[in-house]
Structure 1
Amino acid sequence: MIFQVQDNTITAYGEIWDRNGMEFISLFSELEAKYSQITVKMHSYGGSVFDGNLIYNAIQNSKKEIDFIIIGIAASMAAVISQSRTDKKPKMVRNGFMMIHAPSGSTYGGALDHENNAKLLRSIETNLINSFSKGLNKSKAYIAKWMVGDNWFDAEEALKEGLISEIVEAESETISASYNPQEIGAQGMYYQFTALLNPKNSQQINLDHNMKLPIIQALSLQGVNEQSSDTAVIEAVKKHFEAQATVTQGKLDAEIAKRITAETALADQGKAAITAELDQAKKEGKITPANQATYEAIGTTSGIEALKTVLSAIPARNPIKAQMQNAGGTGSGSATGREAWAWDQWQKEDSKGLEALLRENPEGWQALYDAKYKK
């Protein structure tokens, strides 16, 4: 919103943005300290409900005499603000409009985020109904109808409903009757009025010192000063934030690169640890190359500690040669050198040991058999 202060009059134009509430309170407080009577002029299509409430409360709670004049349109939250004084309803220019509807908003997130926002909107809507009902002495059911769709009131209709106390002469040329508020919407009506607005006071809004200089100083803008055009200042602001965005994006990209590097190093360490555990398990005879992939998957998905736990539960196996030696001892009782015996030597020198080998070490027996018959 743009605020102009001249003597005891504060004029508010445009959309109600975040922090406009505190800006209005600051300017309004200065007027309260100087004047017993303050005039608030407004031409707005609404905006932030919460900042609008700050403006509403400041006007409502003021101990000064307040005259509120709608000089163009008062739509959405601006319409609510216009009703802030219970002791004196606002005035409206003859070609002005007011629009009332339910609060709206958007939410990004999960179901709970949307539900909480819906709950908040319903609460705000209830407060609006109660406020209009009390201020206009109308039933809540009557006001609730105004919460459905956009409800436009020209000056005569607003006066009939008690939304304004008086119709005053227009501060702009007459809006053409061909303009339909329902068709062009609140913003469209706002801009139509703004294009035709010609304040009776010849002094125009001067943003150079009231807005440009503080912005230039706060953002340390380069290449512009308070005498620069609005376009030049806006471009400087745009470049300022684009530069900040570039720096921020660079820092973000660097942090992402660091994180990827760290995650890659951690993953490599994890793979190395898994490989070491599997190699040791193979040496101990706990696993074989055939089932290694199964245990590797355990380590990859569940972590090295889970793999260690699984492997620790598997008993170590004696090497085949040692088992062959032990099995061979059931025959002649001599195991020396039998780990190198072939099938024929077993049959010739210790056939009973070969039978025992089949029972006690089928893998070793199968290896001898394959070497003999599957050449």
Structure 2
Amino acid sequence: MRTFWNWENREDGRTLHLDGVIAEETWFGDEVTPAAFKEDLMADKGDITVWINSPGGDVFAASQIYNMLMEYPGQVTVKIDGVAASAASVIAMAGTKVLMSPVSMMMIHNPMTMAIGDSSEMKRAMEMLREVKESIMNAYELRTELPRTRLAKLMDDESWFNAKKAVELGFADEVLFTGEESPEPAVSMLYNQSAVVNTFLKQFPSAPPDNDTDVQALYDRLRLLQ
């Protein structure tokens, strides 16, 4: 099984690397994947460092990782060295302390999904997305203490933050290598729509379903991307 995480044992403690698309191979319908992550996480004790460089992926996979890190008995230091976008930004919120490289980025946006069916199915999908957005905002609000109305607007706008902007808004605590905790306001970078859409589409089969059974199977395996 190929995983999107790997552990490194160093003299100063354990280091977890989260690279690539979250649950790139499998997560839904595969109890082995979250169980394997938890087994690796709990294989040892002590403080850990989590390096993140990920465009995001499955929001429920990210939620499970977030919960595991929040419950971990040691200190969890999150360091973003490339990008913590979409679902990866949710995982970053689990850090006891969140540090960002001065050349790294963070992105938050509304959850997305794909749905098949009539108008009633579309309405159910819309309601599901609204609830998922609320759950994601819970993690952002807990760390940033920003009003939910502002968080909702930032997600609507598909907002990109450089390190200083992330610290300014409360998504991160410090800029790596500088010790800056209260930087001057910075301007967010532009949203790269094609990158997010391409990441989203990779989660689904390349060929359309052939029959009702395939449609149901696809429906059952719909993956939310945050």
TM-score over 0.5 for the alignment? yes
Matches within 5 A, 1:28-177: 28-85=38-95, 88-169=96-177
CA contact (8 A) 1:32 1:64 kept: no
**Alignment pair present for 1:11 and 2:20:** no
Q: Could you tell me how far apart the structure 2 residues matched to 1:186 and 1:39 are?
A: 27
The higher radius of gyration belongs to 1
Cα drift, residue 24 of structure 1: 5.5
Report which structure shows greater RCO (CA 8 Å, sep ≥6): 2
Cα drift, residue 148 of structure 1: 1.0
Higher helix share: 1
Cα drift, residue 73 of structure 1: 0.3
Letter of the structure 1 residue corresponding to residue 105 of structure 2: F
Matches within 5 A, 1:231-270: none
Q: Could you tell me how far apart the structure 2 residues matched to 1:91 and 1:12 are?
A: 15
CA contact (8 A) 1:152 1:181 kept: yes
SS at match of 1:34: coil
Cα drift, residue 167 of structure 1: 1.2
For these two proteins, the number of residue pairs brought into alignment is 179
CA contact (8 A) 1:25 1:58 kept: no
CA contact (8 A) 2:76 2:94 kept: no
CA deviations 1:254-312 (Å, max 9, x no partner) are xxxxxxxxxxxxxxxxxxxxxxxxxxxxxxxxxxxxxxxxxxxxxxxxxxxxxxxxxxx
SS at match of 1:33: coil
Q: CA RMSD in A?
A: 2.6
Any gaps of 5 or more consecutive residues in structure 1? 171-179, 191-248, 250-375
Letter of the structure 2 residue corresponding to residue 54 of structure 1: Q
Cα drift, residue 134 of structure 1: 2.8
Matches within 5 A, 1:213-362: none
Letter of the structure 2 residue corresponding to residue 135 of structure 1: R
**Alignment pair present for 1:182 and 2:191:** yes
Identity %: 25
Residues 115 and 22 of structure 1, relative CA distance in 2, 3 Å threshold: farther
Q: Could you tell me how far apart the structure 2 residues matched to 1:94 and 1:22 are?
A: 36
Letter of the structure 1 residue corresponding to residue 191 of structure 2: Q
SS at match of 1:67: strand
Residues 24 and 186 of structure 1, relative CA distance in 2, 3 Å threshold: farther
TM-score (norm 2): 0.70
Q: Could you tell me how far apart the structure 1 residues matched to 2:125 and 2:140 are?
A: 22
Residues 22 and 150 of structure 1, relative CA distance in 2, 3 Å threshold: farther
Cα drift, residue 31 of structure 1: 4.1
SS at match of 1:142: helix
CA contact (8 A) 1:25 1:55 kept: no
Letter of the structure 1 residue corresponding to residue 90 of structure 2: V
Residues 100 and 22 of structure 1, relative CA distance in 2, 3 Å threshold: farther
Any gaps of 5 or more consecutive residues in structure 2? 179-188, 200-209, 211-226
SS at match of 1:30: helix
Residues 160 and 22 of structure 1, relative CA distance in 2, 3 Å threshold: farther
CA deviations 1:119-171 (Å, max 9, x no partner) are 1100011122233223211211121111213101000100111111111149x
Residues 100 and 118 of structure 1, relative CA distance in 2, 3 Å threshold: same
Higher strand share: 2
